[in-house]
Amino acid sequence: MNESSSEPGTVRPGGRTARVREAVLRAAGDALAEDGFDRLDLAEIARRAEVGKTTLYRRWGTVPGLVADMLGEMAADSLPRTETGSLDGDLTAFARLVLGTLTDTRQGPLFKALIAAATCDEQTATALHRFYRVRLDEWAPCVEAAVTRGEIPAGTDPHEVIRAVSAPLYYRLLASGDPLDEAAADRAVLVAVAAAKAGVFVA
Amino acid sequence: MNESSSEPGTVRPGGRTARVREAVLRAAGDALAEDGFDRLDLAEIARRAEVGKTTLYRRWGTVPGLVADMLGEMAADSLPRTETGSLDGDLTAFARLVLGTLTDTRQGPLFKALIAAATCDEQTATALHRFYRVRLDEWAPCVEAAVTRGEIPAGTDPHEVIRAVSAPLYYRLLASGDPLDEAAADRAVLVAVAAAKAGVFVA
DNA sequence: TCGTTAACGCAACTGGAGTCCCGTTATGAA
DNA sequence: TTCATAACGGGACTCCAGTTGCGTTAACGA
């Protein structure tokens, strides 16, 4: 709210400031994964990170602000994409990756918490959307390659295909509570491939 | 936690108690839709419902407890299913219904808040899953009818088809932030139908 | 190396969410 | 209608998340 001075951490971003930021973001991730979004207080994070809680309130202000920063960090480190030579193989690799993330003991609850945080705060929502945008851009090329190979029709929207694979897994995680297993992941891939070949994703 | 006495509202559920419950659930819905899950305090709901806040804490205990009760109520009133005579038509009606709910000024934010609450509390999560189970059961017959008509293969899992239609819409609402419009709803239907005809949902 | 000051840490403070006590209302059974 | 008591309401109290003030540390330019 104070527009006369710059945000803390921008003028002297090196050394101690960077160490504090790293420790806090890691501690926040742990705390989010363990306790969930609502049971979180910054004092707990400060203790874990061995940092004064004043620092947290001054630099990030609120829990959503901190979460938004975390998401920016997560979007920065891209994850490797496999190239198997077929759309089915590539999408299966992607689906397994998403499945692994969402069922991971630490990352699953973390993603739940991140999404919960995004529903409560506009800034966090923007950061979350940017994160998924990056993920989609990262994996879109495997769909484009399938178009080049002639597996699926020209003009197919790559983002739509990737979304179609992700969506059922997130739906199970967040809404329906149905089991998140390899069968679900593989079925999501089959659905997306069948639809793509039928030309449903052609713009 | 007090197992020696029954829950409040179970011995004298009529008259005043019922009025209080109704007023509180409505006020809670309004507050959730307007303020979101985290900015909620029971005192605010008590003011809206013109009820003492002591009553809220005594009957529901916490915000998640109240939300879980709300979800039970929402699952109770089923929503009408249209019969158009074709799988495509029925699923489009369903997709439009979901779309309408999620983009509604009041219900959209409410659902976001409900899902956020479910990620934070096990009791709420159970209530949410039950809610979607009811929804799925309600719409499954239109898939079974399509099997009977021979539109899609025998053995198709009805729930999977309905889930396939819902998932992309919820994914947009909660995760990616992509636009929630009729194009998205219609595409979700096309995807589900194409996959169903290809036999992807056969158990 | 030195000086300026950004950024941090400690501890005292504050406001409001959640609890508790006790008197009041009105439900449901006799 | 009467009575016992389930359920509600008001208000005081507690406790801790979040704030503030001020002294300390260390980043970075000269």
Same domain, A106 and A38: no
The whole-number Å distance from A17's CA to D30's C1' is 22
Structural domain includes residue B179: yes
pTM here is 0.92
Q: What are the tokens at A175?
A: 């809404």
List of chain A residues whose C-beta atoms are within 8 Å of the C-beta of residue B171? 163, 166-167, 170-171
Q: How confident is the model at residue A1 (pLDDT cuts 50, 70, 90)?
A: very low
A105 and A188, same structural domain? yes
Contacts of A156 (CB under 8 A, 6+ apart): A143, A146, A147, A196, A199, A201, A202
**DSSP category for residue A78:** -
* Longest Cα–Cα distance in chain B: 58
B91 CA vs D2 C1’ separation (Å): 60
Q: Which of B119, B164, B192 sits opposite A116 (nearest CB)?
A: B119
- Our CA angle for A195, A135, A128, nearest 5°, is 110
Do B36 and B120 belong together in one domain? no
Q: How many CA atoms lie less than 13 Å away from B162 in the CB half-sphere?
A: 25
Could you tell me if A177 and A106 lie in one domain? Answer: yes
| Mean pLDDT along residues A46-52 | 94
Enclosing domain of residue B126: 78-197
- Domain assignment present for residue B101? The answer is yes
What is the pLDDT at residue A53?
95
In a domain, B83, yes or no: yes
DSSP H/E element including B25? helix B16-35
Q: For residues A27 and A49, is the Cβ–Cβ distance under 8 A? A: yes
Tell me, yes or no, whether B148 and B84 share the same domain. yes
Say yes or no for a CB contact (<8 Å) between B176 and A37: no
Q: Are residues A84 and A159 in the same domain?
A: yes
- Considering only CB atoms, A190 lies closest to which of B38, B119, B195, namely B195
Nucleotide nearest to A40 (CA to C1'): D17
> pLDDT per residue over A88-102, tens digit each?
999 999 999 999 999
How deeply is A4 buried, as exposed, middle or buried, from its count of CB atoms within 10 A (0-12, 13-18, 19+)? exposed
Residue B199: pLDDT above 50?
Answer: yes
A196: left (phi over 0), alpha (psi -120 to 50) or beta: alpha
Chain B residue with minimum CA distance to A34: B120
Take residue A36 and report the two structure tokens written for it: 């969930």
| Residue with CA nearest C1' of nucleotide D8 | B55
**A200, A201, A202, best to mutate vs chain B, most B CBs in 10 Å:** A200
With left for phi above 0 and alpha for psi between -120 and 50, is residue A180 left, alpha or beta? beta
- Length A63 CA → C18 C1' (Å): 21
Q: Tell me how close the Cα of B162 comes to any Cα of chain A, in angstroms.
A: 11
* C1’ C25 / CA B7, Å: 20
Number of Cβ within a 10 Å radius of residue B19? 12
| Listed residue (A108, A129, A133, A98) closest to A34, CA to CA | A108
Identify the pLDDT of residue A41: 85
Q: Which pLDDT tens digit goes with each residue over B87-115?
A: 999 999 999 999 999 999 999 999 999 99
The reply to whether B203 falls in a domain is: no
Distance CA A138, CA A118 (A): 22
Which CATH number belongs to the domain containing residue A124 in this structure?
1.10.357.10
The number of domains in chain A is: 2
Residues A103 and A161 in one domain: yes
Length of chain B in terms of residues written: 203
Does B27 map to a domain?
A: yes
Element (H, E) at B105: none
**What one-character DSSP code corresponds to residue A200?**
T
CA B97 to chain CA centroid, Å, is 12
Supply B188's token pair: 């979700």
CA of B53 to C1' of C21 (A): 15
Answer for the pair B40, B24: CB distance below 8 angstroms, yes or no: no
Domain shared by B163 and B87, yes or no: yes
pLDDT of residue A6: 65
Residue A13: other Cβ atoms inside 10 A: 9
Rounded CA-CA distance A162/B178 in Å is 13
Give the nucleotide with minimal C1' distance to the Cα of B54: D9
The set of strand C positions with any atom below 7 Å of a protein CB reads: 6-11, 16-21, 26-28
Chain B residues with CB inside 8 Å of A126's CB?
177
Do A181 and A158 reside in the same domain of the chain?
yes
Same domain, A51 and A148: no
Q: Does residue A161 have a pLDDT over 80? A: yes
Residues of A near B (CB-CB distance < 8 A)? 36-39, 112-113, 115-116, 118-121, 125-126, 128-129, 132-133, 136, 160, 163-164, 166-168, 170-172, 174-178, 187, 190-192, 194-195, 198, 200-201
pLDDT of amino acid B46: 95
**In a domain? residue A203:** no
For the stretch B113-145, pLDDT in tens is 999 999 998 989 999 999 999 999 999 999 999
Same-domain status, A96 and A114: yes
